[in-house]
Amino acid sequence: MPHILQEDPMNIEELKAKLIEDGIESVKKIETRPERIRGAIAGFEMCRKLQSKWDFDDCLRNRQAKEIEMMTDNEGPLVYWEHRTATVQIQFVYDRMKVAWTQFGLYSGPVSARAVLHINELLTEEEQREKGEEGKQIRSVQDGCEGSEKAS
């Protein structure tokens, strides 16, 4: 199976950096609640240090356990939502990284259909920028995800 990233419109680390930068930019434009802005940016920044599936899994597992603890400890809604918003952004990046890792045989599990479409869009935009051609499409990411029917 050919890799979607084989023509190098961007490598996996560049893709992760783009997801993080685009995510932070989006949060600053769209979110209005201060605790969620802080949480979302923190979540994206945490992703810079997460290098593997296991790093993401451990991080998410620990954060989800903390969220359960926070609900019973009455931490307060603003503290909870700041923490929860960070967790959601980590999951967002992880879902997209699984799509990229699948292409290199580094992950073989279900992937989010929404993440597949998002990665395809990013790679298409990058290739168009590099080649300077509007409307040129690269091979669809979906072709490399047979058997992955999990949707987000």
Is there a domain that residue 112 lies in? yes
Q: Say if 102 falls within a structural domain.
A: yes
Place of tokens 């930019």: 25
In terms of residue numbers, what domain contains 41?
12-144
Choose among 3, 30, 28: nearest CA to 144: 3
Q: Which tens digits make up the pLDDT trace of 78-136? A: 999 999 999 999 999 999 999 999 988 888 899 999 999 999 898 888 777 777 654 44
What percentage of the chain has pLDDT greater than the value 70?
80
Q: What is the pLDDT of residues 120-140, one digit of tens each?
A: 898 888 777 777 654 444 344
Residue 53 resides in a domain? yes
Domain count for the chain: 1
Whether residue 4 is contained in a domain is answered as no
At which residue do the structure tokens 């890799």 appear? 3
CB distance 4 to 103 below 8 Å: yes
The Cα 86–Cα 84 span in angstroms is 5
- Of the two residues 144 and 41, the one the predictor is more confident about is 41
* pLDDT at residue 80, rounded to an integer: 94
Residue 85 lies in a domain: yes
Phi-psi region of 105 (alpha: psi -120 to 50; beta: other; left: phi over 0): left
Residue 7 lies in a domain: no
